[in-house]
């Protein structure tokens, strides 16, 4: 009991300082985000000179926040960064699939995990103290909430990665059709990818950004085989890996690019249709649970309710002997 009391006393002593630190860090981030940076005149001049300044400004703000988070708590970032090479590669891959590919992406995620854990510790500890008081269950609840809060940024990154891969999967056949048109019109493979990245910015921005990265890497002198392999590896989409291998084989053996891309596009559309048919076939099974739990009880009450009430009224006199 003395150990429990000392632990709870230490927690109540640390709680005000933790609250002050969390509030101060949040105010610092907000102040630097909305008050720092360029002036309005510089922003307007940049928008006049570049039509994509709004997108660059948004990405610049995100990069500033990432750098701020990485510099604000280096100790927290180092404590949450995986020391194992396999775990570090897994975190890096999940960030790549979600679209976060900056140099400080891993450090930013580690810092967010630390801040989320501290926030969960403060909030969970405060709520537990108000509801349960100083006891053993307060420490248990606080530890559980802090642990779950620490993994919250990882779950958000995984969800964003799944959403991004779904967008790539749905928009890739359209991109291949456009590439087929460009190749058959006389453009090379690099020019076709550049054209796709320019034309599909509004319809499929994820694919357009990926092809734009490939174009930039090719302009820097990186071999096409490595660029295509990176395209499939950094997104984690099987269709992109297959497309990359097909394009590499076409480049090596000199076969028809348009025919290979059209075949790949048809196979992707067939796979999408098969997935839609599979989901439609599973609908009947999935509808059983809401029908049994929510719809059938209501129908049963409406149909059997009046008869049950009548039976009860007729049986009551017989049961009471009246």
> What pLDDT digit, counting tens, does each position of 222-233 carry?
888 888 888 888
| Counted domains in the chain | 2
Residues 207 and 275 in one domain: yes
Give 104's DSSP letter.
Answer: T
Residues 251 and 139 in one domain: no
Q: Express each pLDDT in 100-150 by its tens digit.
A: 887 778 877 887 888 888 888 877 777 777 777 677 777 777 778 888 888
- Look at residue 257 and tell me if it is in a domain: yes
Average pLDDT score, the chain: 76
Q: Is 55 helix (H, G, I), strand (E, B) or coil?
A: helix
Find where tokens 């958000």 sit. Answer: 156
Tokens of 232: 């499939």
CA distance 150 to 114: 6
> Could you tell me if 85 and 206 lie in one domain?
no
Q: What is the pLDDT of residue 55?
A: 43
Judge if 6 and 146 occupy the same domain. Answer: yes
Residues 199 and 250 in one domain: yes
Taking only the tens place, the pLDDT of each residue in 245-300 is 888 888 787 777 888 888 888 888 888 888 888 888 888 888 888 888 888 888 88
Of 122, 150, 178, the last residue of a domain is 150
Residue 175: closest CA among 154, 148, 204: 204
Judge contact between 123 and 145, C-beta under 8 A.
yes
Q: Tell me, yes or no, whether 69 lies in a domain.
A: yes
Does residue 308 fall inside a structural domain? no
Q: DSSP characters for 249-298?
A: HHHHHT--HHHHHHHHHHHHHHHHHHHHHHHHHHHHHHTHHHIIIIIHHH
pLDDT for 68? 59
Q: How confident is the model at residue 47 (pLDDT cuts 50, 70, 90)?
A: low
Burial of 43-58, coded b for 16+ CB within 10 Å and e otherwise, reads: eeeeeeeeeebeeebe
- Written as six digits, the tokens of 48 are 């006049």
The answer to whether position 6 is within a domain reads yes
State which of 102, 119, 150 marks the end of a domain: 150
For residue 16, pLDDT beyond 70: no
Boundaries of domain holding 112: 2-150
Those residues whose C-beta lies under 8 Å from the C-beta of residue 20, and which sit 6 or more positions away, are none
In three-state secondary structure terms, 83 is: coil
Q: For residue 61, what are the contacts with CB-CB under 8 A and spacing of at least 6?
A: 33, 37
Task: Supply the CATH number for residue 253's domain.
Answer: 1.20.81
Q: What is the pLDDT of residue 29?
A: 58
CB atoms within 10 A of CB 79: 13
């Amino acid at each position: 009991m003395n150990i429990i009391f000392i632990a709870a006393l230490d927690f109540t002593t640390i709680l005000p300082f933790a609250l002050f630190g969390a509030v101060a860090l949040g105010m610092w981030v907000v102040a630097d985000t909305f008050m720092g940076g360029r002036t309005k005149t510089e922003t307007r001049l940049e928008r006049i000179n570049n039509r994509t300044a709004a997108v660059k400004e948004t990405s610049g703000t995100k990069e500033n926040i990432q750098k701020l988070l990485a510099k604000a708590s280096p100790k927290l970032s180092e404590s949450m960064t995986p020391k194992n090479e396999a775990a570090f590669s897994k975190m890096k891959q999940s960030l790549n699939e979600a679209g976060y590919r900056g140099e400080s992406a891993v450090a930013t995620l580690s810092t967010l995990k630390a801040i989320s854990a501290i926030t969960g510790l403060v909030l969970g500890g405060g709520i537990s103290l108000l509801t349960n008081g100083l006891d053993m269950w307060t420490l248990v609840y606080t530890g559980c909430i802090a642990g779950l809060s620490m993994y919250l940024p990882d779950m958000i990154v995984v969800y964003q990665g799944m959403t991004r891969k779904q967008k790539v999967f749905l928009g890739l056949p359209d991109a291949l059709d456009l590439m087929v048109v460009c190749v058959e019109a006389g453009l090379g493979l690099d020019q076709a990818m550049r054209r796709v990245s320019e034309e599909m910015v509004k319809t499929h921005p994820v694919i357009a950004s990926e092809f734009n990265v490939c174009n930039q890497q090719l302009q820097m002198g990186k071999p096409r085989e490595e660029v295509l392999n990176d395209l499939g590896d950094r997104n984690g989409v099987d269709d992109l890996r297959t497309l990359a291998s097909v394009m590499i084989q076409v480049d090596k053996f000199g076969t028809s690019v348009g025919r290979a891309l059209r075949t790949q596009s048809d196979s992707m559309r067939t796979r999408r249709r098969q997935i839609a048919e599979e989901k439609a076939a599973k609908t009947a099974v999935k509808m059983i649970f809401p029908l049994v739990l929510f719809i059938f009880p209501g129908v049963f009450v409406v149909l059997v309710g009046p008869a049950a009430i009548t039976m009860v009224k007729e049986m009551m006199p017989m049961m009471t002997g009246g």
